[in-house]
Amino acid sequence: MHLDKYQTKSGEQNQVFEFVSIGPKGRIPKLVQYLPTNYKNLYNLGFGDKLLSGDFDDKVISNNGDSEKVLATVVSTIYNFTDKNPEALVHIKSSTESRTRLYRIGITKYLDEVRKHFDIFGKTENGWEDFEPNTNYSAFLVKRKI
Amino acid sequence: MNINEIDTIKKPIVIIDKSLDFYNDKVLFPEKLAEANKMLREVGLPDFTKLELERKEKEAQKTSADKSTPTD
């Protein structure tokens, strides 16, 4: 599997990653942040655009024509983050339904590859289950296989 | 390790930029974190043991079905 990805910058703690989306709408800085939740070893993946004001927006739809490349880059940060934190569980929930759908499609497309490296769970109305293709999930949890 | 040994397919080379550590103790997406904590409080974590067993059962069923499928 080879997916085109953006060059990424990271802080020394591998907790914050930055890359720049390049497309018809120009250069859009993106930031990925892994923050601890109230649960031990459970981190939330935050992802959004870095605005000119210095603020961050995780609801904006950039439409920069590179959604697959952006998604692949975000996934690559999960590899880097879990390299440093192999016990971590990562919670992923998009701000919009369309983006959550994009995540599901992306996971499904590369599921065999993803499962070599991660256990992956999806959240339904009834709770968590092992990720199944073609099922609507509102959130995901991933854990690196050790 | 030389540069050819780095798994660039899944992990592009990451440039360390210490300025990004400025954000480590800042919550850049507070709504998302609050939502995650609320959901986890209400739903909890997956039952990993149960899900692992279910997965193994499914794999066993799939393997069994594959073996019994004619291959002509």
pLDDT score, position B38? 93
Chain A closest-CA separation from residue B57 CA (Å): 12
Q: CA A3, A80, A51, A45: dihedral to nearest 10 degrees?
A: 100
**pLDDT at position B11, please?**
57
For the segment B54-63, the average pLDDT, to the nearest whole number, is 84
Would you state the pLDDT for residue A59?
84
What is the rounded distance in angstroms from the CA atom of residue A69 to the CA atom of residue A71? 5
Model pLDDT, residue A146: 80
CA angle A40, B19, A54 (to 5 degrees): 90
**Which residues are CB-contacts of A127 (< 8 A; sequence separation ≥ 6)?**
B43, B44, B46
Domain membership of residue A2 (yes or no) is no
Give A18's contacts in chain B (Cβ within 8 Å): 17, 20
Nearest to B36 among A12, A18, A37 (CB): A37
Question: For residue B7, is pLDDT > 70?
Answer: no
Q: How far is B30 from chain A (nearest CA, A)?
A: 9
Q: For residue A141, what pLDDT is reported? A: 94
Residues of chain A with pLDDT under 50: none
Whether A3 maps to a domain, the answer reads no
B17 pLDDT band (50/70/90 cuts)? Answer: very high
Q: What residues contact A18, with CB distance under 8 A and at least 6 apart?
A: A8, A9, A10, A29, A30, A31, A32, A50, B17, B20
Contact list in A for residue B42 (CB cut-off 8 A) is none
Backbone angles phi, psi at A59, to 5 degrees: -110, -15
- Of the candidate ranges A69-78, A123-132, B46-55, B62-71, the one whose mean pLDDT is the lowest: B62-71
* Residue A32 domain flag: yes
Decide if pLDDT at B3 tops 60. Answer: no
User: Which residue range forms the structural domain that includes residue A46?
Assistant: 9-144
Residue A144: strand, helix, or coil: strand
Find the mean pLDDT for residues B14-39: 92
Question: What is the per-residue DSSP string for B32-61?
Answer: HHHHHHHHHHHH----HHHHHHHHHHHHHH
Nearest to B12 among A1, A8, A127 (CB): A8
| Percentage of residues in chain B having pLDDT higher than 90 | 36
